[in-house]
Amino acid sequence: KYLITAAAAVCIIILASGPSCCQSFTAHATISKRRNASPHLQMIFRDLVSNDEIDLRVSITSIQKKDDFEKFLQEDDRLCVIKLYAPFCKACKAFGKKFRKLAIDRGDPINSIGEVARHGDARFGEIDYSSKLVKELGIKKFPTVLIYRGSEQLSEITCKNDAIEKITAE
């Protein structure tokens, strides 16, 4: 009884505070879902955070094996942009920030409750250098971006300063 009253009070405060409050409220919505809150409260939390453009997360698929790679390419007809990187590489880290931004802008960003906020015109994936798949693909320089449509490779770009512009142009 007290949990419902407290949750209702929090909802009223959030509604009065406006959408800027939703970003910090995400953790509470997640916690309430785990604690089996009533379906009505879950629906209120979902409505509060599901369309929050401020708190979008990037959707980049981690690809480990050849089967994962083939499944990723065949999932739908959109472009597949795949980053091959080494975690210790400074150039990879710098490029990774730009790649994540591109993935939010052109890919499928995920909102704070784990749903796709909007479908983009490309899907994004990444392969760590330690994967055997990197050798199978014949990649020797990092970071590298591969662009596919289905199983057809359209482009291979070894990333430098202008790499994002080249990827966007593809």
| DSSP-derived secondary structure letter, 53 | G
pLDDT of residue 33: 43
For residue 110, the cross-strand partners are 57, 116
8 A C-beta contact, residue 92 and residue 71: no
* Range name among 44-48, 150-154, 155-159 with the lowest pLDDT average: 44-48
Question: What is the average per-residue pLDDT within 159-166?
Answer: 70
In whole angstroms, give the CA distance from residue 130 to residue 76: 27
Helical H runs in the chain? 2-17, 22-34, 39-49, 66-74, 90-106, 132-137, 163-169
8 A C-beta contact, residue 74 and residue 131: no
In whole angstroms, give the CA distance from residue 126 to residue 34: 30
pTM: 0.66
pLDDT of residue 41: 58
Long-range own/partner contacts, residues 39-43 (CB < 8 A, 24 or more apart): 41/4, 41/7, 41/11
pLDDT of residue 72: 96
